[in-house]
Amino acid sequence: TVLMCVLVCTEGVSLSDLLDRASQLSDKLHSLSTSLTNDMDSHFPPVGGRLMRPSMCHTSSLQIPNDKDQALSVPEHELLALVRSLLKAWSDPLALLSSEATSLPHPERNSINTKTRELQDHTTTLGAGLERLVRK
């Protein structure tokens, strides 16, 4: 939602349409990332009863609006900075997973690769939209 709210200025889209698109994209990204997490968790069980990963997401310290009303109340420059931070924070992890997905010892490695690339495509598109907005 945050990412799409920022892009309203670049596309000349009505706010209602923008929020619909933001909701759809948010659902898609959430669905992809949840599916990817489930794929990984199903084949790589916890080690010693504990998962070998951080207990919190590496972006959990970012102050992200909880809903569209909150996103709309954030000053534009802060929203742009937040979007940049989110895109940058996920760039390297997605690139690493993408580069190693096809060699994972996992029966769903092709599916994992496809989902990872789709997530990368969305973040690239959002990054390009953000850059257009920043240049204006």
Strand partners, 50: 47
Please tell me the predicted confidence (pLDDT) of residue 114. 93
The span from the CA of 57 to the CA of 60, in Å, is 5
Question: In the chain, where does DSSP find H-type helix?
Answer: 2-6, 8-11, 15-43, 68-73, 76-100, 109-135
**DSSP class of residue 46?**
P
Quote the pTM value: 0.69
* Residue at 100: amino acid letter: E
Please tell me the predicted confidence (pLDDT) of residue 115. 93
Which residues neighbour 102 within 8 Å (Cβ) at sequence distance 6 or greater?
Answer: 109, 110, 113
pLDDT in tens, the chain (136 residues): 555 555 555 456 655 565 566 667 767 878 888 898 888 888 776 555 554 555 567 788 888 888 878 888 888 788 888 888 888 888 898 899 889 888 888 888 899 899 999 999 888 877 777 777 677 6
